[in-house]
Structures are given as structure tokens and as C-alpha cells.
Amino acid sequence: MNKKGKFSIINNSLLKPSSQLGFTLLEVMFAIVILSSALMLLANTWAVGGLKIRKAQTNFEVATLLERKMIDIDLEYRGKSVESIREETSPEAIGDEFPNYKWKMKSKKLEIPDISSTLTSKDGGANAFLISIVRQLTEALSKSVREVTVTIMLTTPQGKNREFSATTYFIDYDKDLQFGMPTGQ
């Protein structure tokens, strides 16, 4: 109680001397270290997240452009013979909306490996008729099927060139299969 008979609001025993008020330098330094570590982790997470978003955007654009070009090529050559498919196109710009992208197409005959040696190495081997049929079928398929690869080329802002490709096969169903009878056996 004070002199007037009322209770004092401040308890004198809780007051510290003026030299002990506030934080010590060591406490402030620890707080700064903890805060700066948390900020560094947060900034790193944002940077990695931004890179992943840009990579996902690039992958989406490439997939969309590949799909678009594959559809264009399919529409251009659908119903035509495989001989009408061009061997190769030079890189062309895709359009004003994608200035960093170009595309090209390359086609080739389907190459099927010769399996006659595998057939002859089996127990008892293979007769000339079977080998002849396999070779004729391989040749007919090679003439009737064309492998077409579309490549999207991206020039990154850093000047690096990246390529993404998709491959499809065109089959000429109207091609006649000519099987001749082997002579001999």
C-alpha cells in the first residue's frame, strides 16, 4: 500500500535495474541468424518453384507443338502413298506466337532386320521356302511403311538449343504384296 492507502500498480520487486532492460547483443544476433536462415530457405524454395513452373510451361508448349505438327503431317499425307512423303524438311519457324521454336520433319523407310539367320540356327533349320517368305514379307513391309519423325527445336533465352522429337509410322494399305514362289525345293 502506498501512503494514501491504495495498492501500487507496479511491483517494485519486478523492476530490473536499467542495465538489464531490453535484449542482450547475443540474443539479437541469434534472432538475426534464425530470421536470415528462414528467409534464405524461403527464397530458395521460391526460386526452385519458379524454375519448375518454367520447365513445366516449356514442356507443355513443346508437347502441344509436337501434337499440332503431327496432326498437320497426318492430314497432309493421309490416304497417299508412302512414296509421296518427303525425306526431310529444313527447319521452319512455327509462327509469331512461338518465336523461339522451329520444327523439322525427317522420314525414312522402315528397316526390318534380316531374321533368316535366326531361323536357320534353330533345331533343324529353316527351309528355303520359309526363308524366301520371310525375306519377301520384310521387303514388302519395308516398302509399305514409312517412319516419320517430327522434331521441335527450342532456342532458350540463354542461347542453348534443345530438341524434342516424336515418331509415327505411315502405312500404305493399298500396296500390293507380291509373293513369288521360290525355285528349287
Tens of pLDDT, residues 138-168: 888 888 899 999 999 999 888 899 999 999 9
* SS3 (DSSP) at 43: helix
| List of residues 6+ apart from 105 with CB closer than 8 A | 69, 73, 86, 88, 89, 148, 149, 150, 151
Tens of pLDDT, residues 13-70: 455 555 566 788 888 999 999 999 999 988 888 878 888 998 999 999 999 999 999 9
| List of residues 6+ apart from 85 with CB closer than 8 A | 77, 107, 146, 148, 170
Tens of pLDDT, residues 64-85: 999 999 999 999 998 888 889 9
pTM above 0.85, yes or no: no
